[in-house]
Structure 1
């Protein structure tokens, strides 16, 4: 399939990610507020809607992470259940989409399809489901099925799960007729009648987050949006071309799947001021304690006796999966350790300084004008269709972007000046799926 040629008139899509519990959030900032209070979610969602964003996005945490047998400090505030929160937010917002991350491994199609269809009705067609999977037995201990699902099976179950949910949503016709459903396959054997009539946008929007070959293929087959972590122009263009090229085999066009990397933005009145602000944010994100914790996760051993302002261990990692529980592990620990030590030697950096430089999260740093131009370049050059902004502050982390960058994007003709429809599908430029016969 040929990916659409570069287009200077492509409109940028924007979404807001509630920072939640992770190493992006700066807890020590006096402007940081509760991760549980409804007012925090309401503020961020309303700010995103004021900025005409496509959707507001919540992550999911099904178990508190542990490190060395203790609850991970970043998880002590917990994380509320997404769909409950979004139903409440539907009452205090009007147009912005409401996206919940819900695990396809530890839920059942009938129940989840019903909850999502309910949100879609209550919000007037603004619901979205970010499909995630898990092969983590540690998380699975919270559920009856436990860690039964082999890693190789998680995407086959997820694909079947999404297909069943869509069968349920399509069991009601657009004119209000209900028909029995029946699905019998590898993972699900269910039959009956769905209780919720067809929702305002036909199906809630399906989002997928994943970078593996299986994840890309799943997105090409079943998703409307893919949430990625590719932050550079070169990596973004390669990912974009690869995923868009997979769509044709499923009878889909390039416009049927929106690619939206998660990004952070740091603004300043000058480029130098923005860089200094970004550096200070990284110092706050990577405290001395968090620097040692990051290295422990790579080395697989207790390094609490090491000085975060000192050198790295001189021995190679021996990965211990039980040291940190509930955290997704990426890459080869030995290769990462050598990369970090080489960076430390080359630049004369301490453990903490190296972790700050190696795990930097700011994607766009500069004046509002420079950031607006760079965002537009990414979309115009087919490195993304838009962006999911992940602020470092709760709940006011989007205020400056909405006030200073969005108007510039609008002046450039790169972003909407008003919502042109009522549903999330209309915001994203996605067609409504047709009902069955």
Structure 2
């Protein structure tokens, strides 16, 4: 009898990205608690491992004005998850919190509190920033060089773990003391050890530094590799780094962020996907995206016309608070080649070049394709990013999850109560 490898699933609350469709009549509030609650309850009904919240520390700007695709008024992530802990029972609760503009003791305390209130279901998605624009919101400012982001983040995670480990497994508090390059802290922690030892650590980053950081310190890595080939290469690379840190492959779960579109037939699903992409990239969004690459004001260009014949301005910065799409000359050359080969307009080029729809087809086709990624070691599971708030996950849970269960590729019930139980992660070894 063949034993299938079971996948892990998580739900990403949509928002600050090029995936969300704001104009759909079914789209709801991005900030009302009812929206967070709906998506979380659906994810738990689908037996997902965790609910994932992204977060930004400053509203992005484009040409000096608020970015049209940003969310104004989004509540702070850990606060939302504490509220969700009261309306869910098993679902993991993952908060994105920046390691550049926070401090270890304060954050360790907030996350340990969430871990206790939820019965051991907390996770921390560690992100970094070297952006001086974001840093203007903080006393320290954006002084960190890009190369220092991960050294601070690695020490931050290590310090937080030292603080969590200052309580013994039998419930005895002991003083902690850490003195390093970025942090010098000591004292006694006031939150006992949680049911899962300490929160699960998630890391999002595909750079060389990010991969090494994930191999050394993360329990889950959130990636963007949408193709089977790219996923297998990334999976082998990151898993291959674990031994250097005394870790086994199963101690790090690789979960790419993916989208999905379902239809009763493959043709219907593709038609829906095409419509969604047009909704995601309006004419205005197409020009805005192009300006991020070209570093120039391109508002005079027709989104239904050809790409600009001028070169990018590498010193130009139209958007603040958003990660650049890459080397502007390389991206522009790639987009020009795509446009010329297929006769695409600006909007059509942006739609095709920035598309993130990973799984398109009937529920049975999507279930089979997802299982293939896991079986072929391109992923351990997926973080689903729906295009609608808050009901974008409903169809997947109703139509795809039962098929994954039928195939033996996904759980039929929760076997434990903590997030580490769901992910099959061992309890952290106490290092008191």
TM range (shorter): over 0.9
Among candidates 239, 243, 248, match of residue 243 of structure 2: 248
Q: Contact conserved, 1:61 with 1:79, CA < 8 A, in 2?
A: no
User: Counterparts of 2:286 and 2:147 in 1: how far apart (Å)?
Assistant: 33
For 2:140, the equivalent position in structure 1 comes to 145
Q: Which deviates the most, 108-117 or 15-24?
A: 15-24
Among candidates 397, 407, 413, match of residue 408 of structure 2: 413
**Structure-2 change in CA distance of 1:321 and 1:185 (3 Å):** farther
For 2:212, the equivalent position in structure 1 comes to 217
Q: Give 1:148 deviation, angstroms.
A: 1.2
Q: Give 1:320 deviation, angstroms.
A: 3.6
User: Counterparts of 1:214 and 1:314 in 2: how far apart (Å)?
Assistant: 35
For 2:186, the equivalent position in structure 1 comes to 191
User: Counterparts of 1:56 and 1:320 in 2: how far apart (Å)?
Assistant: 38
Q: Contact conserved, 2:292 with 2:317, CA < 8 A, in 1?
A: no
Mapping of residues 18-97 of structure 1, within 5 Å: 18-97=13-92
Among candidates 95, 109, 118, match of residue 113 of structure 2: 118
User: Counterparts of 1:258 and 1:194 in 2: how far apart (Å)?
Assistant: 29
User: Counterparts of 1:110 and 1:76 in 2: how far apart (Å)?
Assistant: 29
For 2:271, the equivalent position in structure 1 comes to 276
User: Counterparts of 1:159 and 1:399 in 2: how far apart (Å)?
Assistant: 37
Among candidates 172, 175, 196, match of residue 170 of structure 2: 175
Q: Give 1:315 deviation, angstroms.
A: 1.2
Q: Which runs of 5+ in 1 are unaligned?
A: 1-6
Q: Contact conserved, 2:11 with 2:48, CA < 8 A, in 1?
A: yes
Q: Contact conserved, 1:172 with 1:435, CA < 8 A, in 2?
A: no
For 1:156, the equivalent position in structure 2 comes to 151
For 2:396, the equivalent position in structure 1 comes to 401
| SS in structure 2 at match of 1:105 | coil
Structure 1 runs of 4+ off > 6 angstroms?
A: none
User: Counterparts of 1:54 and 1:321 in 2: how far apart (Å)?
Assistant: 42
For 2:196, the equivalent position in structure 1 comes to 201
Q: Contact conserved, 2:292 with 2:325, CA < 8 A, in 1?
A: no
Query: Cα RMSD (Å) of the superposition?
Result: 1.0
Q: Contact conserved, 2:130 with 2:149, CA < 8 A, in 1?
A: yes
**Alignment partner of 1:332 is 2:327:** yes
User: Counterparts of 1:67 and 1:320 in 2: how far apart (Å)?
Assistant: 15
User: Counterparts of 1:192 and 1:361 in 2: how far apart (Å)?
Assistant: 46
User: Counterparts of 1:358 and 1:49 in 2: how far apart (Å)?
Assistant: 34
**Alignment partner of 1:285 is 2:280:** yes
| SS in structure 2 at match of 1:301 | coil
For 1:239, the equivalent position in structure 2 comes to 234
Residues 17-65 of structure 1: per-residue CA shift (max 9 Å, x gap): 0002222110110000000100000000000000000000000110011
User: Counterparts of 1:50 and 1:195 in 2: how far apart (Å)?
Assistant: 34
| SS in structure 2 at match of 1:16 | strand
Among candidates 255, 279, 291, match of residue 296 of structure 1: 291
**Structure-2 change in CA distance of 1:98 and 1:335 (3 Å):** same
Q: Contact conserved, 1:21 with 1:78, CA < 8 A, in 2?
A: no
Q: Contact conserved, 1:301 with 1:320, CA < 8 A, in 2?
A: no
Q: Contact conserved, 1:20 with 1:79, CA < 8 A, in 2?
A: no
| SS in structure 2 at match of 1:113 | helix
Mapping of residues 297-376 of structure 1, within 5 Å: 297-376=292-371
| SS in structure 2 at match of 1:187 | coil
User: Counterparts of 1:308 and 1:20 in 2: how far apart (Å)?
Assistant: 24
For 2:262, the equivalent position in structure 1 comes to 267
For 1:107, the equivalent position in structure 2 comes to 102
User: Counterparts of 1:320 and 1:386 in 2: how far apart (Å)?
Assistant: 39
Q: Give 1:76 deviation, angstroms.
A: 4.7
Q: Contact conserved, 2:104 with 2:159, CA < 8 A, in 1?
A: yes
For 1:389, the equivalent position in structure 2 comes to 384
Q: Give 1:78 deviation, angstroms.
A: 3.5
User: Counterparts of 1:351 and 1:291 in 2: how far apart (Å)?
Assistant: 7
Taking structure 2 as the reference length, the TM-score comes to 0.98
**Alignment partner of 1:128 is 2:123:** yes
Aligned residues: 431
Q: Give 1:346 deviation, angstroms.
A: 1.3
